[in-house]
Amino acid sequence: MVFLGSILVIWALAVVSPGPNLFLVLRYSLSGQRPSGLAAAAGIACGTFLWGLAGLLGLASLFQAAPALFLVMKICGASYLAYCGAKMLKAAWANRYEETITDGTSQRSLAKAFRSGLVTNLSNPKTAIFVTALFAAAMPQSLPLPYGLGGVFLMMVISVAWYGLVALLFSSRRVSAMAKSIHRSIDAIAGVAFLLFAGKLVLSQK
The domain total for the chain is 1
Residues sharing a CB contact under 8 Å with residue 118, sequence separation 6 or more, in sequence order: 43, 44, 46, 47
Q: Is residue 15 part of a domain?
A: no
Q: Which domain holds residue 116?
A: 2-7+20-203
Q: Is residue 38 part of a domain?
A: yes
Letter string b/e over residues 184-204, b meaning 16 or more CB atoms within 10 A of that residue's CB: eebbbbbbebbbebbeebeee
Task: Report the C-alpha gap between 32 and 171 in whole angstroms.
Answer: 5
- 3-state secondary structure at position 32: coil
Letter string b/e over residues 119-156, b meaning 16 or more CB atoms within 10 A of that residue's CB: bbbbbbbbbbbbbbebbeebbeeeeeeeebeebbebbb
Q: Is residue 12 part of a domain?
A: no
Q: Is residue 13 part of a domain?
A: no
Specify whether the CB–CB gap between 176 and 30 falls below 8 A: yes
Residues sharing a CB contact under 8 Å with residue 8, sequence separation 6 or more, in sequence order: 154, 158
Q: Is residue 52 part of a domain?
A: yes
Q: Is residue 172 part of a domain?
A: yes
pLDDT tens by residue, the chain, 206 residues: 666 787 788 888 888 887 888 888 988 888 767 888 899 999 999 998 988 887 777 665 666 677 777 777 778 777 877 877 787 787 767 765 444 444 445 666 888 899 999 998 888 777 777 777 777 666 665 667 777 788 889 989 999 999 999 999 888 877 766 655 566 676 677 778 778 877 876 777 65
